[in-house]
């Protein structure tokens, strides 16, 4: 009789454990198949000029004015003696975006859609480009031949695009800037040469390109070294009758071209105006009095 009671208790205990296992398995399966309909916002899209993280500023008006002038990390608040979580994450995201801009390449489809052919400098990789700036100022032998074959000879203006230190800047701005420059020059009756793209290019490559094409004015649209405010800043370097080894002071620069700086379409029109003045004055850089 006692044995039957023990067997009954043991069977009941086993059944209870099995039921617990079934419930646990069902719970785990439910958790595994649970789907949340949500997303993580891109914090790099936040305009920090509109971000007020100081909870009780002494003067709200002065705080707002200070934030309005520039997209700098001003008045980001703190949690005790530390920075708040959001500014820290934004800082890291901006740093990552800057790294991506430097180490990534301009998408070939974008270059093709812009109607540009591609030549390369004597740099054979991104690492060599970053460590040997001198090689980024010289076209490869094949690049020289390609420019000689495909570009118009002795144009008034030769415009080309280069990745520089930010492929993101090229992708974000060239689509608006290049057509605006060409349209502006056309409105002035100024002839421009055949545009193209230079991979792994430094600013100084424009000197050799000027000599090859025989252009009166050479203009390069190039990605600038990215910072923590933007990774998409582009500049236009312009020179009158540039030659290899000329002083840097002979270059005119239109800088800070991006959506939060000089708007790309407006920058294109301004670049065309500057080129017109350079042709009229036959001078550029510090020799040009605007």
Q: Tell me: the pLDDT tens digits for 179-222?
A: 999 999 999 999 999 999 999 999 999 999 999 999 999 999 99
Dihedral Cα 94, 96, 97, 98, nearest 10 deg: 90
Among the residue ranges 12-16, 30-34, 96-100, 170-174, the one predicted with the least confidence is 30-34
For residue 103, CA distances in Å to 120, 171, 278 come to: 16, 14, 34
141 annotated as a binding-site residue: no
Q: Are 76 and 90 in contact (CB under 8 A)?
A: no
Q: Which two tokens stand for residue 234?
A: 């582009």
- Average pLDDT value over all residues in the chain: 88
Task: Check residue 63 and give its pLDDT.
Answer: 85
Question: 200 and 121 in contact (C-beta within 8 Å)?
Answer: yes
Considering the segment(s) 108-287 as one domain, its CATH architecture is 3-Layer(aba) Sandwich (3.40)
Do domains 43-103 and 108-287 share one topology? The answer is: no
Candidates 209, 206, 175, 188; CA nearest to 272 is: 188
Domain boundaries, the chain: 43-103, 108-287
**224 annotated to bind ligand:** yes
**pLDDT of amino acid 10:** 58
pLDDT reported for residue 166: 94
Least confident of 19-28, 193-202, 221-230, 262-271: 19-28
CATH class of the domain at 43-103: mainly alpha
Q: How far is CA 113 from CA 14, 70, 171, 184, in A?
A: 70, 34, 11, 21
Evaluate if residue 30 carries a pLDDT over 60.
no
* 79 — pLDDT class (breaks 50, 70, 90): confident
């Amino acid at each position: 009789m006692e044995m039957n009671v023990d067997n009954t208790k043991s069977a009941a205990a086993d059944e209870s454990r099995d039921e617990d296992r079934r419930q646990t398995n069902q719970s785990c399966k439910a958790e595994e198949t649970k789907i949340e309909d949500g997303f993580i916002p891109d914090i790099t899209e936040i305009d920090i000029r509109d971000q007020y993280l100081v909870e009780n500023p002494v003067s709200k008006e002065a705080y707002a004015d200070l934030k309005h002038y520039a997209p700098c990390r001003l008045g980001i608040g703190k949690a005790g003696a530390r920075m708040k979580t959001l500014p820290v994450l934004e800082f890291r995201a901006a740093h990552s975006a800057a790294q991506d801009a430097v180490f990534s390449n301009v998408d070939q489809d974008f270059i093709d859609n812009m109607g540009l052919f591609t030549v390369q400098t004597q740099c054979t990789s991104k690492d060599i480009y970053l460590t040997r700036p001198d090689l980024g100022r010289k076209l490869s032998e094949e690049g020289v031949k390609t420019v000689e074959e495909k570009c118009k000879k002795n144009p008034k203006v030769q415009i080309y695009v280069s990745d520089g230190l930010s492929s993101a800047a090229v992708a974000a701005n060239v689509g608006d800037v290049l057509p605006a420059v060409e349209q502006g020059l056309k409105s002035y009756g100024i002839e421009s040469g055949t545009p193209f793209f230079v991979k792994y290019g430094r600013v100084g490559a424009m000197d050799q390109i000027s000599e090859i094409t025989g252009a009166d004015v050479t203009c390069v649209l190039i990605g600038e070294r990215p910072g923590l405010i933007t990774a998409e800043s582009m500049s236009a370097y312009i020179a009158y009758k540039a030659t290899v080894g000329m002083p840097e002071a002979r270059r005119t620069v239109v800088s800070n071209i991006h959506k939060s700086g000089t708007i790309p379409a407006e920058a294109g029109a301004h670049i065309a105006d500057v080129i017109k003045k350079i042709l009229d004055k036959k001078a550029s850089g510090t020799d040009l009095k605007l």
